[in-house]
Structure 1
Amino acid sequence: MKKRISIFVRRHLAINKRLARLPRNCKAPLRGPRPPMSLHYAVWSFISATLGILAICEVTTLVGHPLLIGSFGASAVLLFGATDSPLAQPRNLVGGHLVSATVAVLVVALFGSSPLTMAIGVGLAIFVMNMTHTTHPPGGATALIGVQGAVGPSFILMPVLAGALILLVTAIFTNNVVYHRSYPKHWL
Structure 2
Amino acid sequence: MSTDRTTTLQPPPLSPQPAPDRPPARVLPRLAGRAPAPPAPGAALHSVSAATAVMLALVAIGAVVHEPVLIPPLAASAAIVHSVPGLPLAQPRSVIAGHLLCAAVGYGALAALGSAPWVAAVAAGLGLALMTVTRTPHSPACATAVVIVLRTPDPRTFVPLLAGSVVLLVLAGCALSRARSGSPRYPVYWW
The 5 Å alignment of 1:1-188 reads 31-37=32-38, 38-60=40-62, 64-66=65-67, 68-154=70-156, 157-179=159-181, 180-188=183-191
| Shift in Å, 1:150 | 2.4
Q: Runs of 5+ in structure 1 lacking a partner?
A: 1-28
Deviation at 1:31, TM superposition (A): 4.7
The answer as to whether partners of 1:87 and 1:93 remain within 8 angstroms in 2 is yes
Residue 8 of structure 2: aligned partner: none
3-state SS of paired residue (2:71)? coil
Determine the C-alpha separation between the residues in 2 that align with 1:34 and 1:77: 18
Who is 1:4 aligned against? none
**TM-score after normalising by structure 1:** 0.77
Counterpart-to-counterpart distance in 2, 1:64 and 1:148: 19
Structure 2: which 5+ residue stretches go unaligned? 1-29
Identity %: 30
Q: Is the 8 A contact 2:105 2:127 kept in 1?
A: yes
User: How many corresponding residue pairs?
Assistant: 159
* 8 Å CA contact 1:101, 1:156 repeated in 2: no
Looking at structure 1, the residues matched to 71 and 48 of structure 2 have their Cα atoms a distance apart, in angstroms, of 19
The residue identity in structure 2 corresponding to 1:47 is: S
What's the CA shift for 1:72?
A: 0.5
Q: Which residue identity does 2:36 align to in structure 1?
A: P
**Greater than 4 Å deviation, 4+ residue runs:** none
Instruction: Report how far residue 154 of structure 1 moved.
Output: 2.7
Normalising by structure 2, we get a TM-score of 0.76
Indicate the structure (1 or 2) with the bigger Cα radius of gyration.
2
1:163, CA displacement in angstroms? 1.3
Which structure features the higher share of helix residues?
1
- After superposition, the C-alpha distances for 1:28-84 in whole angstroms (9 at most, x for unaligned) are x765211112212211111110111122234446x5443643101100110111111
- Tell me the C-alpha RMSD between the 2 structures: 1.9
